[in-house]
């Protein structure tokens, strides 16, 4: 799906002129559309179309695109084009290698910092996934990991994870060959381990990375 089609069929939230989207809202909306494939890999992103769609000025759009570029989801050639980053197995494989160094420690440290509210949020996300067959496991996993990262006291580690892990998760979300890596059962087991503060959460992450790497390199 291209930006033209998404603006036709997926309009941005209707807000009055005096209640514009905040900068973070612009980023989150674009991120969601990129991660679920509504904005397809390789599709052009034009400032004028984005500002009209989201009813915002160019400044928050450009800031959001810059942030998306820093985490590898958008590619820009100055004064030429801005596109959604192509879905490339080689880049995903490189990102997986980096995540091997970051993810297990980040998950274990973040799990130790989960409070009752965070555990409740993880449980609610898992419950929706368990009850609703339309929920995508990768989307739920992304949100659960964000809860864990929010509990992580090491801000530098959070920044390092943020710059790489969404590239891998987008690949797992959109590449047909990777559909089984983050299965519903695996995400539910991960959520249960987190809420129990069980070290199996780290083990599940390691197995996810193992399977993701096998899937990417097999292509």
**H helix and E strand count, the chain:** 11, 2
Q: Give dist(CA 81, CA 51) in Å, integer.
A: 16
DSSP 8-state secondary structure symbol assigned to residue 44: B
For residue 159, the tally of other CB atoms under 10 A from its CB is 11
Same domain for 149 and 177, yes or no, is yes
Per-residue pLDDT of the chain (219 residues; tens, 9 = 90+): 555 555 554 555 544 433 445 678 899 999 999 999 999 999 999 989 999 988 888 888 999 999 999 999 999 887 788 999 999 999 999 999 999 999 999 999 999 999 999 999 999 999 999 999 999 999 999 999 999 999 999 999 999 999 999 999 999 999 999 999 999 999 999 999 999 999 999 999 999 999 999 999 886
Instruction: State the pLDDT at residue 77.
Output: 82
DSSP 8-state secondary structure symbol assigned to residue 196: T
Q: Domain containing 78 — which CATH number?
A: 1.10.10.10
Same domain for 52 and 143, yes or no, is no
Domain count, the chain: 2
In a domain, residue 157? The reply is yes
Same domain for 20 and 96, yes or no, is no
Q: Give dist(CA 30, CA 64) in Å, integer.
A: 8
Q: What are the E-state strand segments in the chain?
A: 74-77, 81-84
pTM above 0.75, yes or no: yes
Same domain for 61 and 121, yes or no, is no
Same domain for 45 and 126, yes or no, is no
pLDDT one-digit tens code per residue, 32-70: 999 999 999 999 999 899 999 888 888 889 999 999 999
Full domain range(s) for residue 59: 13-82
Q: Give dist(CA 167, CA 165) in Å, integer.
A: 5
Same domain for 124 and 210, yes or no, is yes
């Amino acid at each position: 799906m291209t930006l033209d089609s998404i603006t036709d069929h997926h309009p941005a939230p209707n807000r009055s002129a005096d209640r514009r989207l905040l900068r973070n809202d612009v980023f989150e909306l674009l991120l969601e559309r990129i991660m679920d494939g509504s904005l397809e890999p390789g599709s052009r992103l034009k400032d004028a179309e984005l500002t009209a769609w989201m009813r915002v000025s160019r400044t928050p759009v450009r800031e959001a695109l810059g942030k998306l570029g820093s985490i590898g989801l958008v590619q820009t050639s100055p004064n030429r084009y801005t596109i959604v980053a192509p879905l490339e197995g080689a880049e995903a494989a490189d990102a997986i290698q980096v995540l091997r160094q970051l993810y297990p420690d980040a998950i274990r440290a973040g799990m130790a910092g989960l409070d009752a509210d965070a555990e409740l949020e993880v449980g609610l996300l898992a419950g929706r996934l368990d009850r609703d067959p339309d929920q995508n496991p990768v989307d739920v996993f992304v949100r659960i990991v964000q809860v864990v990262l929010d509990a992580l006291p090491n801000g530098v580690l959070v920044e390092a994870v943020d710059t790489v892990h969404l590239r891998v998760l987008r690949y797992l979300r959109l590449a047909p060959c990777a559909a089984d890596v983050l299965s519903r059962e695996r995400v539910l087991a991960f959520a249960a381990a987190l809420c129990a503060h069980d070290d199996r959460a780290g083990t599940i992450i390691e197995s996810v990375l193992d399977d993701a790497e096998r899937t990417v390199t097999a292509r």
